[in-house]
């Protein structure tokens, strides 16, 4: 990155950091204002941004109402399908689905982050299959403050909002009596894997496994450089990190994917498949096997 790009990235994250510091909350930064408006920004720029500074940006206010409303419960292949809505930190109602195995648990559980332009239903068949092996799943639409950020500030506000919202959801998932909070996992595909890579670096101490499928190492956007996957995967450990890439994927180069894996710490695994961006049946079988082994009944 050139000096101008580095300056833009530092300034954007610094603006948010200053606003969080000025907010005066006791340990947790407040969420963004209702109706999708921007997180308030100030112009007091600290000299440098550290990993700990960035983590402070991602803290959320636990007093904000979750206000969950459950829909009708159905079954699929023995799995229990529990749709619900909740109040996100922008004041909008968001949708999710909790899929539980038969029994009382507690179950290991994985949160799925879908690809761009996809919703929570993208991996519901996989979640139903996992339920047959004693693993619960949380399916969500990607948290969204701005449909399409148009400025550096909006882009940074978007990722901060998303990380806060994801932390909130994982905390909610782990607090449920059916779920074993010592067996939590994360799965991200494509753009969802970009977000998952950052989130694994934020919550690696609380996750047992994170699977990143078809993900580049960077946004290639200066203001987002502090949130690039390659900047966060080193912090995923002790969470086991599994990276799946397609040898014919045209969204990034072989060297870029290898660099992402090299940046991560053990335990980690990079597996290449003879496939494009969507990968193939072998990749599907592998990730399901890894999830079941890590999160399934002992």
Task: List the chain pLDDT tens, one digit each, 298 residues.
Answer: 333 333 333 344 444 433 333 332 322 232 332 232 323 322 232 335 677 877 888 899 888 889 999 999 999 988 999 999 999 998 899 999 999 999 988 999 999 998 887 778 889 999 999 999 999 999 999 888 888 888 888 888 888 899 999 999 999 999 999 999 999 999 999 999 999 999 999 999 999 999 999 999 998 887 788 888 998 999 999 999 999 999 999 999 999 999 999 999 999 999 999 999 999 999 999 999 999 999 999 7
Burial 184-213 (b: 16+ CB within 10 A, else e): bbbbbbbbbbbbbbbbbbbbbeebbbbbbb
Written in H, E and C, the secondary structure of the chain is CCHHHHHHHHHHHHHHHHHHHHCCCCCCCCCCCCCCCCCCCCCCCCCCCCHHHHHHHCCCCCCCCCCCEECCCEEECCEEEEEEEEECCCCCEEEEEEEECCCCCCEEEEEEECCCCCCHHHHHHHHHHHHCCCEEEEEECCCCCCCCCCCHHHHHHHHHHHHHHHHHHHHHHHHCCCEEEEEEEEEEECHHHHHHHHHHHHHCCCCCEEEEECCCCCCCCHHHHHHCHHHHHHHCCCCEEEEEEECCCCCCCHHHHHHHHHHCCCCEEEEEECCCCCCCHHHHHHHHHHHHHHHCCC
Q: Parallel, antiparallel, or unpaired: how do β-strands 240-246 and 79-87 relate?
A: unpaired
For residue 116, the Cα-to-chain-centroid distance in whole angstroms is 13
Q: How far apart are CA 282 and CA 164, in angstroms?
A: 34
Q: Per the structure block, which two tokens stand in for 40?
A: 């308030």
Return all residues near 284 (Cβ < 8 A) that are at least 6 apart: 126
Contact 183, 109 (CB under 8 A): yes
pTM assigned to the model: 0.83
Q: How far apart are CA 188 and CA 246, in angstroms?
A: 15
- Is the sign of the CA dihedral 197, 82, 292, 249 positive or negative? negative
Residue listed under structure tokens 């079941």: 292
Q: How far apart are CA 277 and CA 116, in angstroms?
A: 13
In this prediction, residue 28 carries a pLDDT of 29
Q: Per the structure block, which two tokens stand in for 278?
A: 């969507």
Taking residue 182's Cβ as centre, other Cβ atoms within 10 Å add up to: 10
What domains, with CATH codes, occur in the chain? 3-35+43-57 (no CATH), 69-295 (3.40.50.1820)
Burial class (CB in 10 A: 0-12, 13-18, 19+), 27: exposed
In this prediction, residue 20 carries a pLDDT of 36
């Amino acid at each position: 990155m050139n000096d101008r790009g580095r300056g833009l990235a530092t300034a954007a994250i610094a603006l948010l950091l200053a606003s969080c510091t000025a907010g005066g909350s006791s340990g947790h930064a407040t969420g963004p204002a209702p109706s999708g408006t921007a997180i308030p920004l100030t112009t007091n720029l600290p000299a440098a941004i550290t990993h700990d500074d960035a983590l402070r940006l991602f803290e959320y206010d636990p007093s904000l109402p979750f206000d969950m409303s459950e829909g009708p419960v159905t079954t699929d292949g023995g799995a229990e399908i529990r749709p619900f809505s909740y109040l996100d930190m922008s004041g909008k109602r968001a949708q999710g689905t909790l899929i539980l195995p038969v029994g009382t648990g507690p179950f290991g559980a994985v949160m799925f982050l879908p690809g761009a332009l996809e919703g929570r239903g993208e991996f519901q068949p996989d979640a139903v299959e996992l339920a047959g092996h004693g693993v619960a799943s949380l399916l969500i639409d990607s948290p969204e403050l701005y449909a399409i950020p148009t400025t550096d500030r909006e882009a940074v506000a978007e990722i901060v909002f998303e990380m806060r919202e994801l932390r909130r959801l994982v905390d909610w998932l782990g607090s449920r009596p059916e779920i074993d909070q010592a067996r939590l996992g994360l799965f991200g595909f494509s753009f969802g894997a970009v977000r998952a890579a950052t989130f694994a670096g934020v919550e690696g101490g609380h996750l047992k496994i994170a699977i990143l499928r078809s993900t580049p190492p960077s946004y290639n956007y200066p203001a987002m450089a502090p949130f690039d996957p390659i900047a966060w995967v080193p912090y995923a450990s002790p969470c086991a990190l599994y990276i799946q890439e397609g040898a014919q994927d045209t969204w990034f180069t072989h060297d870029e994917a290898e660099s992402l894996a090299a940046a991560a710490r053990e335990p980690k695994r990079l597996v290449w498949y003879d496939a494009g961006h969507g990968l193939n049946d072998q990749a599907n079988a592998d990730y399901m096997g890894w999830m079941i082994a890590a999160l399934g009944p002992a």
